[in-house]
Amino acid sequence: MFQGYNRRTAWLLSAILFLSVQAFPARTGKDNRKTVENFVAGFSLASSARNNLTCAGSDPQPYPVLFSLSENNGNQPSAFLLSVPEFERARNLRPRWGRAGLELAMLMSYSQARYWIKYSRFIEDWQYELTWADQKRRFFTTEALRFDSNAFYLNWTHALAGMLYYEFARTNNLSFWQSAIFSVGGSLYWEYLVEWREVISINDNIMTGLGALSLGEAWFQMGRYFRNSSNPVARLLSWLNPLMKVNGWLDRKKPLSVYHHNYNQAAQDVYFFLGYRNSPVSASPNENTGNLALSLHSRIITDSSYGLPGRVDEKFSSPFYSQLDFDFMFHGIVREELGITARIVPVGRFRQNISWDRKGFSLYYGLGSAFFLNIKRPVTDYDAGRIPVNHPEDFHFEIPRDFRDKLAAVHFLGPVLDVTWHSSPWKFRLKAEAYPSFGMINSLPLNTFSVDNDIQGMKTTLKFYGYHYAFGPDLEALAEVTYRHLKLSGFLAYVHYWSFQGRDRFQSWLSDDSSLEDSRKHYGLSLEIRIPRTLFSVVGSMEGVKRWGRVHELEEKTLEKRYYLGLKYRL
């Protein structure tokens, strides 16, 4: 069998080389030989150590050989022959540091000018003068390292700013690790130099510099997936990443787009969801009502051999998996809830052994990172962040607080394991993740506590905006069973936070800096039924969100039940 296989391979190589030589322009014999040698040197029947496919002697048929002209810059090879100039460019894609830096500088200049013009709006943040004594304390001691006193919406959106910094680099062909320099460096520049009058915000550096890594990379992968899709709706959605479109247009005269990627469509799960959701709303948090649920989800695996017959055993140091979810709930025309989830696995190992009859396993494990946001609609001006902390009289502390739940979290590098067993037509998948997590979380019992207690001496963000800065473990698990057009899924996500102590921006003003605890458990079960010969599925699910919190000796817990029914459209 292998002799026949090798003969066919030899004939295929000979035919390709003949066609390739005919395609070269007329040159001297020496130049032609050199060009052919370079072409053969880069030619691969596998994807250049990305896919180590082998044939097992016990299998009744050889595995399909993935034909490609590969490159080693983290982008998968294309599935078609390239001309020699295109092939050489694909192998040596040049990072555009200059253009990335210029784009970042333009945004920074605009934002910096706008911030300084409106400085008076942030007068409550002014704590340092432009003197050597003040700036020496600020730069060379830990005195200025504090958690700031800003509203929740202002603090979580720093992650979106960092995402832009990251994307300037990533869409200019910088790697994941090189792009991280832009988000982290941009955050430090802003905190240390632009905001020279203020404390150096610990939470802003975490949200902007580190939260941007999962958000920015997942945004990049979603945009690249849409850009390479044959689905016209998905191609239109590629404008969701306008930086990729703009930089792609600037590179339009190049023979091969740096954003080309050969996706294995069967391994991706990118879709719209539109349906009915039965759950509470902010105006009636204790009773369920009908709402509209709208979501855009992407779960993308960048390795094109994932799930295909063959053997793979390789390490990866660029993102292998990415996820970006946007979830909205509307009650009438009012947005009641916003959720954003981003995940990446940038480093690890991929192993796979699937037979020709699609039996075997796919496994990847490594270190991942994630960003999570969930916000309920506020019902008061102070919860919405419309009142600054330098107007305490407008908060009316004589009235009990009425905050709504909210959480923004950055999950730092932690272990991720994902394994799928294939036994056609069955498929079983298990995934487990664990992270150390930084969170800005609403204190659940604070509303009740404020009825009989004065909260004005408590942590600054707690008394004004209802949330506190915290740290703790995040644990998540997923299980899926697929049979033909049916998929049954269950998940569990649990995070437990303890508040940070002693680093409040106005620490000396606090008379009650007691420790706080909060936890959130989210679990659910869903059934998906694919409609044959269409891109649609019917999805129904049940979920629960269990919250617990403690302030002093007061504990409180709630359970929110959610029910979904709707249509999923695969992109």
pLDDT in tens, the chain (571 residues): 444 444 544 444 444 444 343 333 444 444 444 444 444 444 444 443 333 333 333 333 333 444 444 333 333 333 444 454 555 555 556 888 999 999 999 999 988 888 877 765 655 557 788 888 888 888 888 888 999 999 999 999 999 999 999 999 999 989 999 999 999 999 999 999 888 888 899 999 999 999 999 999 999 999 999 998 888 998 899 899 999 888 888 887 665 565 778 888 889 999 999 999 999 999 999 999 999 999 999 999 999 999 999 999 999 999 999 999 999 999 999 999 999 999 999 999 999 999 999 999 999 999 999 999 999 999 999 999 999 888 889 999 999 999 999 999 999 999 999 999 999 899 999 999 999 999 999 999 999 999 999 999 999 999 999 999 999 999 999 999 999 999 999 999 999 999 999 999 999 999 999 999 999 999 999 999 999 999 999 999 999 999 999 999 999 999 999 999 999 999 9
pLDDT at 266 (0 to 100): 87
Strand 269-281 with 554-570, pairing: antiparallel
- Taking the CA atoms of residue 441, residue 444, residue 448 and residue 452 in that order, the dihedral angle to the nearest 10 degrees is -50
Beta bridge partners of 486: 483, 529
Residue 510 in 3-state DSSP?
Answer: coil
Residue 401 in 3-state DSSP?
Answer: coil
Burial of residue 465 (CB within 10 Å: 0-12, 13-18, 19+) is buried
Full-model pTM: 0.83
Q: Is the dihedral of CA 277, 278, 284, 285 positive or negative?
A: negative
Query: What is each CA distance from 206 to 211, 390, 410, 412, in whole angstroms?
Result: 6, 25, 7, 10
pLDDT at 230 (0 to 100): 87
pLDDT at 560 (0 to 100): 97
pLDDT at 444 (0 to 100): 97
Q: Which residues contact 227 (CB under 8 A, 6 or more apart)?
A: 235, 238, 241, 244, 245, 248, 259
Per the CB < 8 A criterion, the answer to whether 524 and 491 are in contact is yes
Q: In 3D, which of 522, 517, 524, 523 has the Cα closest to residue 548?
A: 517
> Residue 112 corresponds to which amino acid?
Q
Q: How many CB atoms lie within 10 A of CB 210?
A: 23
Angle at 121 between CA 115 and CA 125, to 5 degrees: 85
Burial of residue 438 (CB within 10 Å: 0-12, 13-18, 19+) is buried
From the centroid of its chain, how far is CA 122? Answer: 31
Q: In 3-state terms, the chain is what percent helix, strand and coil (to 5)? A: 30, 35, 30
pLDDT at 119 (0 to 100): 66
Q: In 3D, which of 280, 283, 287, 552 has the Cα closest to residue 443?
A: 552
Q: How far apart are CA 168 and CA 447, in angstroms?
A: 42
Q: What values do phi and psi take at 545, rounded to 5?
A: -125, 110
Q: How far apart are CA 400 and CA 405, in angstroms?
A: 16
pLDDT at 79 (0 to 100): 40
Angle at 268 between CA 172 and CA 407, to 5 degrees: 75
Could you give the count of Cα atoms lying within 13 Å of 120 in the half-sphere of its Cβ?
1
Q: How far apart are CA 76 and CA 70, in angstroms?
A: 7
Residue 81 in 3-state DSSP?
Answer: coil
pLDDT at 432 (0 to 100): 98
Q: How far apart are CA 463 and CA 456, in angstroms?
A: 6
pLDDT at 148 (0 to 100): 93
Q: How far apart are CA 551 and CA 538, in angstroms?
A: 43
